[in-house]
Amino acid sequence: MKVGLSLSRCVRDIFEKRVDYQDVLVVISRTDFDPNNDKHWAQIWEGYLYGGVSAAVWHGLEDYEQEIRTICVSLYEEGKLHQPRQYGSASRFRADYVWLDTVVSDDDLEDKPTVKKAWEQYKMLAGLSQ
């Protein structure tokens, strides 16, 4: 499972099949919009397509507006889009990360025995609490 930290970059990754939509737990965004609202959508689309307030991350995707919007709507309607600004808070996170994995990678497990032991204990406790 993955936690995304940038709506524009995460949606592009999903659209370009670099990340499977089913692997997305949540995308935390600095936006405050409803992708079902045409006015909100037009502002987001123009901003990410041409830049301005944010980077033109969707540049080159002009012909795929409906597909991009469908991804945004799905994230929104499935509760996978968290927008802290809607609750009076601004998210603060490192912009150089786009995705965080919610599981420990095999490389970390093999290279770090302490992490491996902690992960195994966590999985055992998580299984007992179900």
Distance separating alpha carbons of residues 60 and 50, to the nearest angstrom: 9
DSSP for 45-69? HHHHHH-SSS--TTTT-GGGHHHHH
Confidence band (pLDDT; 50, 70, 90) for 129? Answer: low
Across 89-97, average pLDDT: 68
- In the prediction, which pLDDT does 23 show? 95
Q: What is the pLDDT of residues 102-111, one digit of tens each?
A: 876 777 778 8
Distance separating alpha carbons of residues 81 and 29, to the nearest angstrom: 7
Q: What is the pLDDT of residues 28-51, one digit of tens each?
A: 998 899 999 999 999 999 999 999
Task: Name which of 55-59, 74-78, 116-120 the model is least confident about.
Answer: 116-120
DSSP label at 92?
A: -
Confidence band (pLDDT; 50, 70, 90) for 73? Answer: very high
The model's pTM is: 0.76
Domain ranges of the chain: 2-97, 104-130
